[in-house]
Structure 1
Amino acid sequence: MLDNATREKIVDDFFEVYRSRKPMPLLTATYPGIEVEDAYRIQQGFVARQVAAGAKVKGYKVGLTSKPMQEFSGTTEPDFSAITGEFFVPEATPIPMSRFFAPMVEMEIAFVMKEPLKGPGVSPVDVIRATDFVLPAIEIVDFRVERAPGLNVIDNIADLAFCGAVVLGANPRRLDQIDIRRVKGALYKNGAKELEGEASAVLGNPVTAVAWLANKLGEFGTSFEPGDTILTGSFIRVLPITAGDEIVCRFDQGLGEVVTSFV
Protein backbone atom coordinates (compact mmCIF):
# COMPACT_ATOMS: atom_id res chain seq x y z
CA MET A 1 0.00 0.00 0.00
CA LEU A 2 1.03 3.59 -0.64
CA ASP A 3 0.67 6.37 1.89
CA ASN A 4 -1.76 9.25 1.38
CA ALA A 5 0.97 11.70 0.39
CA THR A 6 2.18 9.42 -2.41
CA ARG A 7 -1.35 8.91 -3.71
CA GLU A 8 -1.91 12.68 -3.73
CA LYS A 9 1.33 13.13 -5.66
CA ILE A 10 0.13 10.66 -8.28
CA VAL A 11 -3.13 12.63 -8.62
CA ASP A 12 -0.99 15.74 -9.15
CA ASP A 13 0.96 13.85 -11.81
CA PHE A 14 -2.24 12.94 -13.70
CA PHE A 15 -3.25 16.59 -13.85
CA GLU A 16 0.27 17.45 -15.03
CA VAL A 17 -0.15 14.96 -17.90
CA TYR A 18 -3.01 17.08 -19.26
CA ARG A 19 -0.86 20.21 -19.03
CA SER A 20 2.35 18.76 -20.46
CA ARG A 21 0.63 16.38 -22.94
CA LYS A 22 3.23 13.78 -21.94
CA PRO A 23 1.98 10.44 -20.55
CA MET A 24 3.45 9.34 -17.24
CA PRO A 25 5.41 6.11 -16.71
CA LEU A 26 3.45 3.07 -15.58
CA LEU A 27 2.50 3.40 -11.95
CA THR A 28 3.28 -0.26 -11.41
CA ALA A 29 6.86 0.36 -12.58
CA THR A 30 7.37 3.55 -10.57
CA TYR A 31 5.68 2.32 -7.37
CA PRO A 32 6.31 -1.44 -6.92
CA GLY A 33 4.22 -1.51 -3.73
CA ILE A 34 1.08 -0.09 -5.33
CA GLU A 35 -2.10 -2.15 -4.90
CA VAL A 36 -5.58 -2.19 -6.40
CA GLU A 37 -6.97 -0.27 -3.42
CA ASP A 38 -4.38 2.45 -4.03
CA ALA A 39 -5.47 2.65 -7.67
CA TYR A 40 -9.12 3.18 -6.74
CA ARG A 41 -8.16 5.83 -4.17
CA ILE A 42 -6.06 7.62 -6.80
CA GLN A 43 -8.99 7.52 -9.22
CA GLN A 44 -11.33 8.83 -6.52
CA GLY A 45 -8.88 11.61 -5.70
CA PHE A 46 -8.69 12.69 -9.33
CA VAL A 47 -12.48 12.70 -9.73
CA ALA A 48 -12.93 14.54 -6.41
CA ARG A 49 -10.67 17.34 -7.63
CA GLN A 50 -12.64 17.57 -10.87
CA VAL A 51 -15.88 17.82 -8.90
CA ALA A 52 -14.39 20.45 -6.59
CA ALA A 53 -13.57 22.48 -9.71
CA GLY A 54 -17.19 22.31 -10.92
CA ALA A 55 -17.47 19.01 -12.78
CA LYS A 56 -20.37 16.63 -12.14
CA VAL A 57 -20.33 12.85 -12.12
CA LYS A 58 -22.72 11.80 -14.89
CA GLY A 59 -22.18 8.07 -14.83
CA TYR A 60 -19.77 5.16 -14.63
CA LYS A 61 -18.04 2.69 -16.90
CA VAL A 62 -17.36 -1.00 -16.44
CA GLY A 63 -14.11 -2.18 -17.97
CA LEU A 64 -12.34 -5.50 -18.45
CA THR A 65 -15.61 -7.35 -18.94
CA SER A 66 -14.20 -10.17 -21.08
CA LYS A 67 -12.08 -13.06 -19.82
CA PRO A 68 -9.26 -12.43 -22.34
CA MET A 69 -8.94 -8.79 -21.20
CA GLN A 70 -9.01 -9.83 -17.54
CA GLU A 71 -6.26 -12.37 -18.14
CA PHE A 72 -4.24 -9.80 -20.10
CA SER A 73 -4.55 -7.31 -17.23
CA GLY A 74 -3.85 -9.80 -14.47
CA THR A 75 -7.26 -9.70 -12.80
CA THR A 76 -10.25 -11.98 -12.26
CA GLU A 77 -13.00 -9.35 -12.23
CA PRO A 78 -13.97 -6.20 -14.12
CA ASP A 79 -12.97 -2.73 -13.00
CA PHE A 80 -14.73 0.64 -13.12
CA SER A 81 -14.43 4.41 -13.17
CA ALA A 82 -16.70 7.37 -12.58
CA ILE A 83 -17.30 9.53 -15.66
CA THR A 84 -17.71 13.30 -15.33
CA GLY A 85 -19.71 15.44 -17.71
CA GLU A 86 -16.84 16.71 -19.84
CA PHE A 87 -16.17 13.16 -21.08
CA PHE A 88 -19.55 13.04 -22.85
CA VAL A 89 -19.30 14.37 -26.42
CA PRO A 90 -22.40 15.06 -28.58
CA GLU A 91 -23.00 12.62 -31.42
CA ALA A 92 -21.81 13.67 -34.90
CA THR A 93 -19.65 16.44 -33.42
CA PRO A 94 -16.07 16.15 -34.77
CA ILE A 95 -13.70 15.45 -31.89
CA PRO A 96 -10.22 17.04 -31.97
CA MET A 97 -7.47 14.45 -31.71
CA SER A 98 -5.55 16.95 -29.62
CA ARG A 99 -7.66 16.06 -26.58
CA PHE A 100 -6.35 12.47 -26.61
CA PHE A 101 -3.03 10.70 -26.15
CA ALA A 102 -3.40 7.25 -27.76
CA PRO A 103 -7.09 6.92 -28.65
CA MET A 104 -8.96 3.78 -29.66
CA VAL A 105 -12.68 3.14 -30.08
CA GLU A 106 -15.07 0.52 -28.70
CA MET A 107 -18.78 -0.10 -29.17
CA GLU A 108 -21.09 -0.93 -26.30
CA ILE A 109 -24.52 -0.47 -24.78
CA ALA A 110 -25.20 2.29 -22.24
CA PHE A 111 -27.86 2.01 -19.53
CA VAL A 112 -29.64 5.15 -18.29
CA MET A 113 -31.05 4.79 -14.79
CA LYS A 114 -34.50 5.97 -13.71
CA GLU A 115 -34.22 4.96 -10.03
CA PRO A 116 -31.43 4.95 -7.41
CA LEU A 117 -29.61 1.65 -7.06
CA LYS A 118 -27.12 0.78 -4.34
CA GLY A 119 -25.30 -2.40 -3.38
CA PRO A 120 -24.73 -4.77 -1.79
CA GLY A 121 -27.25 -7.32 -2.89
CA VAL A 122 -28.22 -5.81 -6.24
CA SER A 123 -29.47 -8.52 -8.62
CA PRO A 124 -30.05 -8.44 -12.39
CA VAL A 125 -33.78 -8.16 -11.65
CA ASP A 126 -33.10 -5.00 -9.60
CA VAL A 127 -31.15 -3.57 -12.54
CA ILE A 128 -33.98 -4.27 -14.97
CA ARG A 129 -36.49 -2.56 -12.68
CA ALA A 130 -34.24 0.49 -12.13
CA THR A 131 -33.29 1.04 -15.80
CA ASP A 132 -35.09 3.70 -17.82
CA PHE A 133 -33.71 2.77 -21.24
CA VAL A 134 -30.54 1.75 -23.07
CA LEU A 135 -28.64 3.52 -25.84
CA PRO A 136 -26.00 2.62 -28.40
CA ALA A 137 -22.62 4.06 -27.47
CA ILE A 138 -19.07 4.60 -28.63
CA GLU A 139 -16.37 4.80 -26.00
CA ILE A 140 -13.04 6.39 -26.87
CA VAL A 141 -10.41 4.58 -24.84
CA ASP A 142 -7.34 6.67 -23.97
CA PHE A 143 -4.19 6.37 -21.91
CA ARG A 144 -2.65 8.94 -19.55
CA VAL A 145 0.00 6.35 -18.70
CA GLU A 146 2.47 4.93 -21.18
CA ARG A 147 1.34 1.92 -23.19
CA ALA A 148 4.38 -0.10 -22.16
CA PRO A 149 5.13 -3.73 -21.25
CA GLY A 150 3.85 -4.46 -17.76
CA LEU A 151 0.70 -2.35 -18.03
CA ASN A 152 -1.95 -4.00 -15.88
CA VAL A 153 -5.21 -3.55 -14.01
CA ILE A 154 -3.68 -1.18 -11.42
CA ASP A 155 -2.60 1.27 -14.12
CA ASN A 156 -6.02 0.85 -15.73
CA ILE A 157 -8.01 1.63 -12.58
CA ALA A 158 -5.93 4.64 -11.56
CA ASP A 159 -6.14 6.03 -15.10
CA LEU A 160 -9.96 6.29 -15.05
CA ALA A 161 -10.24 2.76 -16.47
CA PHE A 162 -8.73 4.27 -19.65
CA CYS A 163 -11.84 6.32 -20.42
CA GLY A 164 -11.15 9.14 -22.88
CA ALA A 165 -14.63 10.18 -24.09
CA VAL A 166 -18.14 8.84 -24.63
CA VAL A 167 -20.54 9.36 -27.55
CA LEU A 168 -24.15 8.30 -27.04
CA GLY A 169 -26.67 7.53 -29.75
CA ALA A 170 -30.16 8.98 -29.63
CA ASN A 171 -32.40 5.96 -30.22
CA PRO A 172 -33.48 4.66 -26.80
CA ARG A 173 -34.92 1.19 -26.26
CA ARG A 174 -36.49 -0.22 -23.13
CA LEU A 175 -35.22 -3.53 -21.85
CA ASP A 176 -38.63 -5.13 -22.44
CA GLN A 177 -38.36 -4.23 -26.15
CA ILE A 178 -35.16 -6.18 -26.83
CA ASP A 179 -33.22 -9.30 -25.90
CA ILE A 180 -30.18 -7.40 -24.75
CA ARG A 181 -27.97 -10.50 -24.59
CA ARG A 182 -28.48 -11.05 -28.32
CA VAL A 183 -27.98 -7.49 -29.54
CA LYS A 184 -25.49 -7.61 -32.40
CA GLY A 185 -23.42 -4.74 -33.67
CA ALA A 186 -20.78 -3.81 -36.19
CA LEU A 187 -18.20 -1.03 -36.19
CA TYR A 188 -17.41 0.74 -39.47
CA LYS A 189 -14.39 2.96 -40.01
CA ASN A 190 -14.56 5.24 -43.05
CA GLY A 191 -17.33 3.11 -44.53
CA ALA A 192 -15.61 -0.26 -44.14
CA LYS A 193 -16.76 -2.86 -41.63
CA GLU A 194 -13.90 -3.49 -39.22
CA LEU A 195 -15.38 -5.45 -36.31
CA GLU A 196 -18.60 -7.07 -35.18
CA GLY A 197 -19.84 -8.81 -32.07
CA GLU A 198 -22.70 -9.60 -29.71
CA ALA A 199 -23.60 -8.10 -26.33
CA SER A 200 -23.41 -11.52 -24.66
CA ALA A 201 -19.61 -11.08 -24.75
CA VAL A 202 -20.05 -8.68 -21.81
CA LEU A 203 -20.14 -11.04 -18.79
CA GLY A 204 -22.78 -13.08 -20.62
CA ASN A 205 -25.28 -10.19 -20.36
CA PRO A 206 -24.74 -6.41 -19.98
CA VAL A 207 -27.35 -6.44 -17.20
CA THR A 208 -24.90 -8.56 -15.19
CA ALA A 209 -22.23 -5.89 -15.68
CA VAL A 210 -24.52 -3.20 -14.28
CA ALA A 211 -25.41 -5.37 -11.26
CA TRP A 212 -21.72 -6.05 -10.62
CA LEU A 213 -20.95 -2.35 -10.74
CA ALA A 214 -23.81 -1.38 -8.42
CA ASN A 215 -22.53 -3.87 -5.86
CA LYS A 216 -18.91 -2.80 -6.30
CA LEU A 217 -19.81 0.87 -5.88
CA GLY A 218 -21.70 -0.08 -2.72
CA GLU A 219 -18.35 -1.09 -1.20
CA PHE A 220 -17.28 2.54 -1.63
CA GLY A 221 -20.53 3.98 -0.27
CA THR A 222 -21.62 5.13 -3.73
CA SER A 223 -24.84 4.43 -5.62
CA PHE A 224 -26.42 5.00 -9.01
CA GLU A 225 -28.67 8.03 -9.15
CA PRO A 226 -31.55 8.74 -11.57
CA GLY A 227 -30.14 9.88 -14.90
CA ASP A 228 -26.74 8.21 -14.44
CA THR A 229 -25.37 6.66 -17.63
CA ILE A 230 -23.63 3.31 -17.21
CA LEU A 231 -21.27 2.03 -19.92
CA THR A 232 -21.40 -1.74 -19.71
CA GLY A 233 -18.24 -2.73 -21.58
CA SER A 234 -17.29 -3.38 -25.17
CA PHE A 235 -18.28 -6.52 -27.03
CA ILE A 236 -15.53 -6.03 -29.63
CA ARG A 237 -11.80 -5.43 -29.33
CA VAL A 238 -10.47 -1.88 -29.37
CA LEU A 239 -9.69 -0.24 -32.73
CA PRO A 240 -7.05 2.51 -33.10
CA ILE A 241 -8.13 5.72 -34.82
CA THR A 242 -6.42 8.70 -36.43
CA ALA A 243 -7.40 12.20 -37.53
CA GLY A 244 -9.86 12.09 -40.43
CA ASP A 245 -11.53 8.84 -39.37
CA GLU A 246 -15.31 8.54 -39.19
CA ILE A 247 -16.69 5.82 -36.92
CA VAL A 248 -20.20 4.39 -37.25
CA CYS A 249 -21.48 1.70 -34.89
CA ARG A 250 -24.66 -0.04 -36.05
CA PHE A 251 -26.79 -2.16 -33.71
CA ASP A 252 -29.77 -4.39 -34.43
CA GLN A 253 -33.05 -4.79 -32.47
CA GLY A 254 -33.95 -1.18 -33.14
CA LEU A 255 -31.03 0.45 -31.33
CA GLY A 256 -29.88 2.02 -34.58
CA GLU A 257 -26.49 3.62 -34.95
CA VAL A 258 -24.16 6.11 -33.30
CA VAL A 259 -21.67 8.20 -35.29
CA THR A 260 -18.56 10.20 -34.49
CA SER A 261 -15.50 11.53 -36.31
CA PHE A 262 -12.03 12.78 -35.47
CA VAL A 263 -10.17 15.85 -36.71
Structure 2
Amino acid sequence: MAIDVATAVEDFWIARKHGEFFPRAYYDQLTSDDAYRIQLALIDRRVAAGEGQIGWKVGLTSKAIQNQFGFHEPIFACVLETQPSGHVFGSTELINPGIETELCVRLAHGLEGTVSMAQVREAIDVVQPSFEIIETRGDPRQMMLVLADNGQARSVVAGAPVRLTPDLALDKVSAHIDINGQEMATGLGSAVLDNPLNSVLWLARKLGQYDRCLRPKDIVMTGSFVRQFPLASGDVAVAEFSGIGRVETGISKA
Protein backbone atom coordinates (compact mmCIF):
# COMPACT_ATOMS: atom_id res chain seq x y z
CA MET A 1 0.00 0.00 0.00
CA ALA A 2 1.38 3.40 -1.00
CA ILE A 3 1.71 5.83 1.90
CA ASP A 4 0.75 9.50 1.67
CA VAL A 5 3.74 11.00 3.44
CA ALA A 6 2.03 14.29 4.34
CA THR A 7 -0.80 12.39 6.03
CA ALA A 8 1.69 10.11 7.79
CA VAL A 9 3.65 13.09 9.12
CA GLU A 10 0.48 14.55 10.61
CA ASP A 11 -0.45 11.19 12.13
CA PHE A 12 3.00 10.75 13.67
CA TRP A 13 2.99 14.33 14.98
CA ILE A 14 -0.39 13.96 16.67
CA ALA A 15 0.54 10.55 18.11
CA ARG A 16 3.82 11.96 19.48
CA LYS A 17 1.93 14.64 21.40
CA HIS A 18 0.09 11.81 23.16
CA GLY A 19 3.24 9.84 23.95
CA GLU A 20 2.84 7.33 21.10
CA PHE A 21 5.91 7.25 18.89
CA PHE A 22 5.08 4.21 16.72
CA PRO A 23 1.51 4.66 15.43
CA ARG A 24 0.13 1.14 15.06
CA ALA A 25 -1.57 1.90 11.74
CA TYR A 26 1.91 2.18 10.18
CA TYR A 27 3.30 -1.17 11.35
CA ASP A 28 4.86 -2.96 8.34
CA GLN A 29 3.60 -0.22 6.00
CA LEU A 30 6.62 2.04 5.39
CA THR A 31 9.50 1.86 2.95
CA SER A 32 12.85 3.27 4.05
CA ASP A 33 12.24 6.28 1.78
CA ASP A 34 8.86 6.89 3.47
CA ALA A 35 10.52 6.62 6.87
CA TYR A 36 13.30 9.11 6.06
CA ARG A 37 10.83 11.63 4.66
CA ILE A 38 8.65 11.32 7.76
CA GLN A 39 11.68 11.65 10.03
CA LEU A 40 12.95 14.81 8.34
CA ALA A 41 9.52 16.43 8.26
CA LEU A 42 9.02 15.73 11.96
CA ILE A 43 12.44 17.18 12.78
CA ASP A 44 11.57 20.30 10.77
CA ARG A 45 8.43 20.66 12.89
CA ARG A 46 10.37 20.19 16.11
CA VAL A 47 12.90 22.81 15.06
CA ALA A 48 10.09 25.21 14.14
CA ALA A 49 8.66 24.60 17.64
CA GLY A 50 11.92 25.67 19.29
CA GLU A 51 14.36 22.74 19.28
CA GLY A 52 17.67 23.01 17.45
CA GLN A 53 19.19 20.48 15.11
CA ILE A 54 22.93 20.48 15.70
CA GLY A 55 23.97 17.52 13.62
CA TRP A 56 23.41 13.94 12.56
CA LYS A 57 23.93 10.36 13.62
CA VAL A 58 24.85 7.40 11.48
CA GLY A 59 23.54 4.17 12.97
CA LEU A 60 23.78 0.45 12.30
CA THR A 61 27.38 0.82 11.16
CA SER A 62 28.91 -2.21 12.86
CA LYS A 63 28.14 -5.89 12.41
CA ALA A 64 27.42 -6.13 16.15
CA ILE A 65 24.66 -3.50 15.96
CA GLN A 66 23.30 -4.79 12.64
CA ASN A 67 23.06 -8.30 14.04
CA GLN A 68 21.42 -6.96 17.19
CA PHE A 69 18.66 -5.30 15.15
CA GLY A 70 18.52 -7.61 12.14
CA PHE A 71 18.98 -4.72 9.69
CA HIS A 72 22.08 -4.79 7.53
CA GLU A 73 22.69 -1.29 6.19
CA PRO A 74 23.47 2.07 7.83
CA ILE A 75 20.78 4.60 8.70
CA PHE A 76 20.83 8.31 9.52
CA ALA A 77 18.93 10.40 12.04
CA CYS A 78 19.17 13.87 13.58
CA VAL A 79 20.97 15.09 16.71
CA LEU A 80 19.10 17.70 18.74
CA GLU A 81 20.97 17.77 22.07
CA THR A 82 24.42 17.33 23.58
CA GLN A 83 25.62 17.14 27.18
CA PRO A 84 29.16 17.26 28.61
CA SER A 85 30.96 14.20 29.91
CA GLY A 86 29.85 13.43 33.45
CA HIS A 87 26.25 14.41 32.82
CA VAL A 88 23.75 12.40 34.88
CA PHE A 89 20.23 12.03 33.53
CA GLY A 90 17.24 11.99 35.85
CA SER A 91 15.83 8.62 36.82
CA THR A 92 12.59 9.23 34.91
CA GLU A 93 13.96 11.51 32.18
CA LEU A 94 14.51 8.86 29.50
CA ILE A 95 12.33 6.22 27.84
CA ASN A 96 13.87 2.72 28.02
CA PRO A 97 17.37 4.18 27.63
CA GLY A 98 20.60 2.70 26.35
CA ILE A 99 24.05 3.77 25.20
CA GLU A 100 26.20 3.38 22.13
CA THR A 101 29.96 3.96 22.29
CA GLU A 102 31.00 6.25 19.45
CA LEU A 103 33.35 8.88 18.12
CA CYS A 104 31.69 12.22 17.46
CA VAL A 105 33.22 14.53 14.86
CA ARG A 106 32.58 18.26 14.46
CA LEU A 107 32.85 19.84 11.04
CA ALA A 108 34.73 23.02 10.21
CA HIS A 109 33.44 22.96 6.63
CA GLY A 110 30.27 21.69 5.03
CA LEU A 111 30.04 18.58 2.87
CA GLU A 112 27.53 17.78 0.18
CA GLY A 113 26.86 14.86 -2.13
CA THR A 114 29.61 12.51 -3.30
CA VAL A 115 32.84 13.42 -1.49
CA SER A 116 36.25 11.82 -1.09
CA MET A 117 37.92 10.58 2.07
CA ALA A 118 40.43 13.42 1.74
CA GLN A 119 37.57 15.95 1.67
CA VAL A 120 36.04 14.34 4.76
CA ARG A 121 39.30 14.58 6.73
CA GLU A 122 39.79 18.17 5.59
CA ALA A 123 36.27 19.11 6.71
CA ILE A 124 36.60 17.71 10.25
CA ASP A 125 37.60 20.13 12.99
CA VAL A 126 37.74 17.88 16.08
CA VAL A 127 36.93 14.39 17.34
CA GLN A 128 35.31 13.65 20.71
CA PRO A 129 34.87 10.48 22.79
CA SER A 130 31.12 10.06 23.08
CA PHE A 131 28.10 8.10 24.15
CA GLU A 132 24.92 8.30 22.14
CA ILE A 133 21.96 8.11 24.47
CA ILE A 134 19.20 6.15 22.79
CA GLU A 135 15.59 5.50 23.72
CA THR A 136 13.55 2.43 22.78
CA ARG A 137 10.25 4.20 22.20
CA GLY A 138 8.49 1.30 20.47
CA ASP A 139 8.95 -2.20 19.08
CA PRO A 140 12.58 -2.33 17.80
CA ARG A 141 11.56 -5.00 15.29
CA GLN A 142 9.62 -2.29 13.44
CA MET A 143 12.77 -0.82 11.90
CA MET A 144 10.98 1.57 9.54
CA LEU A 145 9.13 3.06 12.51
CA VAL A 146 12.41 3.27 14.43
CA LEU A 147 13.77 5.21 11.47
CA ALA A 148 10.73 7.48 11.15
CA ASP A 149 10.97 8.18 14.91
CA ASN A 150 14.51 9.57 14.46
CA GLY A 151 16.44 6.32 14.83
CA GLN A 152 16.16 6.02 18.63
CA ALA A 153 18.16 9.27 19.03
CA ARG A 154 17.76 11.14 22.32
CA SER A 155 21.02 12.85 23.30
CA VAL A 156 24.80 12.84 22.97
CA VAL A 157 27.27 12.93 25.86
CA ALA A 158 30.67 14.08 24.62
CA GLY A 159 34.11 14.34 26.18
CA ALA A 160 36.94 16.78 25.50
CA PRO A 161 37.68 17.42 21.81
CA VAL A 162 40.97 16.54 20.11
CA ARG A 163 42.23 17.61 16.70
CA LEU A 164 42.09 15.12 13.85
CA THR A 165 45.79 15.15 13.08
CA PRO A 166 47.22 13.31 10.05
CA ASP A 167 48.68 10.59 12.27
CA LEU A 168 45.38 9.86 14.07
CA ALA A 169 43.95 6.75 12.39
CA LEU A 170 40.38 6.40 13.62
CA ASP A 171 40.08 2.82 12.40
CA LYS A 172 42.88 1.87 14.83
CA VAL A 173 41.26 3.52 17.88
CA SER A 174 40.12 1.03 20.52
CA ALA A 175 37.25 1.68 22.90
CA HIS A 176 36.70 -0.01 26.28
CA ILE A 177 33.33 0.37 27.96
CA ASP A 178 32.56 -0.25 31.64
CA ILE A 179 29.18 -0.09 33.31
CA ASN A 180 29.25 0.16 37.11
CA GLY A 181 32.92 -0.79 37.07
CA GLN A 182 32.39 -4.00 35.07
CA GLU A 183 34.01 -4.26 31.65
CA MET A 184 31.25 -4.83 29.11
CA ALA A 185 32.97 -4.74 25.73
CA THR A 186 35.99 -3.68 23.71
CA GLY A 187 35.83 -2.60 20.08
CA LEU A 188 37.88 -1.01 17.31
CA GLY A 189 37.09 1.88 15.02
CA SER A 190 37.43 -0.50 12.10
CA ALA A 191 34.11 -2.04 13.20
CA VAL A 192 32.41 1.18 12.03
CA LEU A 193 32.17 0.74 8.24
CA ASP A 194 35.91 -0.14 8.29
CA ASN A 195 36.66 3.45 9.40
CA PRO A 196 34.43 5.98 11.23
CA LEU A 197 35.23 8.52 8.51
CA ASN A 198 33.32 6.31 6.08
CA SER A 199 30.18 7.17 8.07
CA VAL A 200 30.63 10.84 7.22
CA LEU A 201 31.30 10.01 3.58
CA TRP A 202 28.16 7.82 3.44
CA LEU A 203 26.06 10.44 5.23
CA ALA A 204 27.01 13.30 2.89
CA ARG A 205 25.96 11.23 -0.10
CA LYS A 206 22.77 9.89 1.50
CA LEU A 207 21.58 13.30 2.65
CA GLY A 208 21.88 14.53 -0.91
CA GLN A 209 19.01 12.20 -1.83
CA TYR A 210 16.81 14.32 0.45
CA ASP A 211 18.16 17.75 -0.55
CA ARG A 212 20.08 18.05 2.72
CA CYS A 213 23.76 18.56 3.40
CA LEU A 214 26.29 18.70 6.20
CA ARG A 215 26.84 22.23 7.43
CA PRO A 216 29.81 23.91 9.14
CA LYS A 217 29.72 23.25 12.91
CA ASP A 218 27.48 20.18 12.50
CA ILE A 219 28.42 17.22 14.66
CA VAL A 220 28.23 13.69 13.33
CA MET A 221 27.94 10.63 15.54
CA THR A 222 29.78 8.09 13.42
CA GLY A 223 28.46 4.80 14.84
CA SER A 224 29.01 2.42 17.72
CA PHE A 225 32.19 0.39 18.13
CA VAL A 226 30.25 -2.31 20.00
CA ARG A 227 26.67 -3.37 20.51
CA GLN A 228 24.07 -1.25 22.26
CA PHE A 229 23.76 -1.62 26.05
CA PRO A 230 20.74 -0.72 28.22
CA LEU A 231 21.10 1.73 31.11
CA ALA A 232 19.04 1.65 34.29
CA SER A 233 18.61 3.96 37.26
CA GLY A 234 21.84 4.17 39.25
CA ASP A 235 24.06 2.98 36.39
CA VAL A 236 27.34 4.73 35.52
CA ALA A 237 28.96 4.12 32.12
CA VAL A 238 32.55 4.99 31.21
CA ALA A 239 34.32 4.57 27.87
CA GLU A 240 38.03 5.03 27.17
CA PHE A 241 39.12 5.63 23.56
CA SER A 242 42.83 5.11 22.85
CA GLY A 243 44.49 8.32 21.69
CA ILE A 244 41.20 10.25 22.05
CA GLY A 245 40.06 10.33 25.67
CA ARG A 246 37.35 9.42 28.13
CA VAL A 247 33.60 9.95 28.42
CA GLU A 248 31.27 9.22 31.32
CA THR A 249 27.53 9.37 31.88
CA GLY A 250 24.85 7.84 34.08
CA ILE A 251 21.31 7.84 35.34
CA SER A 252 20.45 8.94 38.86
CA LYS A 253 18.96 6.48 41.31
CA ALA A 254 15.19 6.38 41.50
Partner of residue 158, structure 2? 168
**How many angstroms apart in 2 are the aligned matches of 1:97 and 1:219?**
39
Partner of residue 8, structure 1? 10
Alpha-carbon shift at residue 153 of structure 1 (Å): 2.8
Partner of residue 30, structure 2? 34
Say which is worse superposed, 171-180 or 49-58, in terms of deviation: 171-180
Task: Give structure 2 stretches of 5+ with no counterpart.
Answer: none
Asked whether the 8 Å contact 1:136–1:258 carries over to 2, the reply is yes
Alpha-carbon shift at residue 31 of structure 1 (Å): 3.9
Task: Give structure 1 stretches of 5+ with no counterpart.
Answer: 18-22
Alpha-carbon shift at residue 173 of structure 1 (Å): 3.0
Which of structure 1's runs of 4+ aligned residues deviate more than 4 A? Answer: 23-27, 71-76
**How many angstroms apart in 2 are the aligned matches of 1:31 and 1:239?**
25
Asked whether the 8 Å contact 2:22–2:145 carries over to 1, the reply is no
Asked whether the 8 Å contact 1:116–1:225 carries over to 2, the reply is yes
Matched letter for residue 226 of structure 1: P
Identify which of 17, 41, 49 aligns with 1:53.
49
Residues 81, 25 of structure 1: alpha-carbon distance in 2 compared, 3 angstrom cutoff:
closer
Higher helix content, 1 or 2:
1
Alpha-carbon shift at residue 67 of structure 1 (Å): 3.5
Matched letter for residue 191 of structure 1: G
Asked whether the 8 Å contact 1:72–1:152 carries over to 2, the reply is no
Partner of residue 20, structure 1? none
Say which is worse superposed, 240-249 or 169-178, in terms of deviation: 169-178
Identify which of 108, 115, 120 aligns with 1:114.
108
3-state SS of 2:18 partner: helix
Q: TM-score w.r.t. structure 1 length?
A: 0.88
Instruction: String of CA shifts for 1:92-138, please: whole Å, max 9, x gaps.
Output: 1211132211111111101110001111x212111011111111101
| Aligned pairs for 1:136-151 within 5 A | 136-147=129-140, 151=141
Asked whether the 8 Å contact 2:180–2:237 carries over to 1, the reply is yes
Higher strand content, 1 or 2:
2
Identify which of 181, 193, 214 aligns with 2:204.
214
> Alignment length, in residue pairs?
250
Matched letter for residue 246 of structure 1: V
Residues 32, 246 of structure 1: alpha-carbon distance in 2 compared, 3 angstrom cutoff:
closer
Asked whether the 8 Å contact 1:8–1:45 carries over to 2, the reply is no
Partner of residue 62, structure 1? 58
Instruction: String of CA shifts for 1:54-96, please: whole Å, max 9, x gaps.
Output: 2221000001112454466554421001112xx2122212111
Identify which of 115, 121, 133 aligns with 2:126.
133
Say which is worse superposed, 168-177 or 200-209, in terms of deviation: 168-177
Matched letter for residue 3 of structure 2: L
Please state if 1:259 is matched with 2:248. Answer: yes
Alpha-carbon shift at residue 225 of structure 1 (Å): 1.1
3-state SS of 1:5 partner: helix
**How many angstroms apart in 2 are the aligned matches of 1:73 and 1:260?**
24
Partner of residue 192, structure 2? 202
**How many angstroms apart in 2 are the aligned matches of 1:31 and 1:64?**
21
Residues 37, 173 of structure 1: alpha-carbon distance in 2 compared, 3 angstrom cutoff:
same
**How many angstroms apart in 1 are the aligned matches of 2:21 and 2:111?**
35
**How many angstroms apart in 1 are the aligned matches of 2:64 and 2:186?**
17
3-state SS of 2:163 partner: coil
Residues 262, 34 of structure 1: alpha-carbon distance in 2 compared, 3 angstrom cutoff:
same
Q: TM-score w.r.t. structure 2 length?
A: 0.91
Instruction: String of CA shifts for 1:120-163, please: whole Å, max 9, x gaps.
Output: x212111011111111101112122234xxx1431221121111
| Aligned pairs for 1:81-100 within 5 A | 81-84=77-80, 87-100=81-94
**How many angstroms apart in 2 are the aligned matches of 1:231 and 1:100?**
19
Matched letter for residue 119 of structure 2: D
